Structure 1
């Protein structure tokens, strides 16, 4: 159990334009994509955000992308109005996660929001969708489970004693796919399917365990995310991403990471967020609930589009933006 090194006090009352001022957040896996956007949007709302990952300005993780670093994410958080603190962390290493949580305790004495966004397994997927389990390399498959499940368990186990020290803490498990969608759609790779369904179940279980401390646990998924890696895959940028729809019209339902970032910030700022406890949520649904939009002013609803397309193959993505 983590013990406070400094006296703890309730978080101060925050102004309306910075509803998370005085709140302390940890975004585990904030190097790029959804994690970076969630960290920045928490900062926009005034939070102090510890951002972690394995790629720094002096070291590149197995993902192999040197262009996004946790230091840059921390700077973006600070520029957005919060305070960003980069802490290089491999969330598969319990001693590194323990050092991270001890540092947050020592420096802040509290943790209000934990976002479990660690993944970094895209490089293990190529060409494996649609293959039988025994046709997929076992080493790659098990690595997916380490990156997508074990990291979350290590982080949760280590950080929750600090988060539950004060009532009202929020845990956000990040995944790909809602509970409703994944329950009837196989993700065409058993290892990936397990890795992306586990966070849904983790949020459900943690909701039960956090109830007596007034905490809330939810699982959140973006839709078709225009991450840096996804844009690179299609050979486009955020400025001209619609060019990719010429070859793949369904890409028109995609969303920038800003949408899911705003979803998590809205949840964290909602005093009535306990109504979502244990729920599986998506960025499109939360955008409607809280009234925010993507960076371009649209409100894409990817999961509703995918369901509609099953019965009407001619449905247009534009009808769900």
Structure 2
């Protein structure tokens, strides 16, 4: 994969799963990647993988519910590099029982924690990152999902994903004069330990999905490809299906495949009105 060597990136929620895969893909493109999350052990493993891929991984233990810790993270990036090229907002607090087939009022009330680490945390991270991103232009990517457009895992999860899609649209308006692209990327069914465990628990319900999965690295490859594109601003403010954008950019998954989009079943992203009222 070709990509922007020398890029300075922050990937939140990178101790495992999607965040770890995105960080590894950016490192493979030559990036220095600050990887954040609460698991020191998980972050160390992600940073080591980034180093192995040819980039540099910098683990930073950071609870994205703690605004002071987030401020300290970006202050460190400022001191050490003076700029930021890529922010991937991936941190989210996924509660137990999220995929249980029950109405929302029968699930624990603490499912609302996704509003804090998931939606609010994305805003806070971008608020701190924006002055660094405007130094020489860059990219903000919010990881999202088809839950932003259809019922998926219940109203709390859906509201978070729809929320980060709207953050991308509106942040793009403010950051466009500074050559900063902002997108929200709908990831597909990821081949993570968590997902594979779910398939194993209920193969009759989910088994058919296994052939339609994408690696956790695909989104990172898309981000790297977007950073390298000479006309990347054409995508700013949009919510995109990662698998579709990968094909548009000529990006493949780690096995050389082009994972399918789920648009035909789950629908596509909403189109926001271009009006700007200040």
Provide runs of 4+ in structure 1 moved above 6 Å: none
Match of 1:134 among 105, 110, 116: 105
Distance 1:186 1:70, change over 3 A: same
CA distance in 1, matches of 2:15, 2:256: 25
TM-score of the aligned structures, taking structure 2 as reference length:
0.88
Between structure 1 and structure 2, the one with the greater Rg is 1
What are the equivalent positions in structure 2 for 1:154-193 lying under 5 Å apart?
A: 154-166=124-136, 168-177=137-146, 182=149, 185-187=150-152, 189-193=154-158
TM-score of the aligned structures, taking structure 1 as reference length:
0.77
CA distance in 2, matches of 1:37, 1:271: 25
Instruction: Show the counterpart of 1:208.
Output: 173
Alignment check: 8 A CA contact 2:146 2:152 kept = no
Which stretches in structure 1 are left out of the alignment for 5+ residues?
Answer: 1-16, 58-68, 237-243, 309-321
Distance 1:97 1:300, change over 3 A: same
Q: After superposition, what is the alpha-carbon deviation per residue over 1:270-310, rounded to whole angstroms, capped at 9, x for unaligned?
A: 231101011111221122112222222221213135259xx
Greater displacement, 186-195 / 46-55: 186-195
Distance 1:246 1:91, change over 3 A: closer
Matched, 1:234 2:199: yes
Q: After superposition, what is the alpha-carbon deviation per residue over 1:64-102, rounded to whole angstroms, capped at 9, x for unaligned?
A: xxxxx0111111111111111001001111110111111
Match of 2:217 among 258, 263, 269: 258
Q: After superposition, what is the alpha-carbon deviation per residue over 1:128-150, rounded to whole angstroms, capped at 9, x for unaligned?
A: x450x433332x23212112111
Which stretches in structure 2 are left out of the alignment for 5+ residues?
Answer: 268-278
Distance 1:224 1:122, change over 3 A: farther
Matched, 1:48 2:17: no
CA drift of 1:193 comes to: 1.1
CA distance in 1, matches of 2:141, 2:77: 18
In angstroms, what is the RMSD of aligned CA positions?
2.3
Distance 1:245 1:117, change over 3 A: same
Alignment check: 8 A CA contact 2:212 2:259 kept = yes
CA drift of 1:122 comes to: 4.4
Alignment check: 8 A CA contact 1:178 1:280 kept = no
CA distance in 1, matches of 2:189, 2:40: 26
Match of 1:110 among 83, 95, 114: 83
- 3-state SS, counterpart of residue 161 of structure 2: helix
Instruction: Show the counterpart of 1:3.
Output: none
Instruction: Show the counterpart of 1:197.
Output: 162
CA distance in 2, matches of 1:247, 1:170: 34
How many residues align structurally?
267
Q: After superposition, what is the alpha-carbon deviation per residue over 1:28-70, rounded to whole angstroms, capped at 9, x for unaligned?
A: 111111111111111111111111011112xxxxxxxxxxx01
Q: After superposition, what is the alpha-carbon deviation per residue over 1:210-264, rounded to whole angstroms, capped at 9, x for unaligned?
A: 012111100012111111111122239xxxxxxx589722332111212222112
Alignment check: 8 A CA contact 1:46 1:82 kept = yes
- 3-state SS, counterpart of residue 175 of structure 1: strand
Q: After superposition, what is the alpha-carbon deviation per residue over 1:182-232, rounded to whole angstroms, capped at 9, x for unaligned?
A: 0xx233511111111111000000110101211110001211111111112
Alignment check: 8 A CA contact 1:124 1:144 kept = no
Instruction: Show the counterpart of 1:100.
Output: 73
Instruction: Show the counterpart of 2:241.
Output: 282
Distance 1:195 1:217, change over 3 A: same
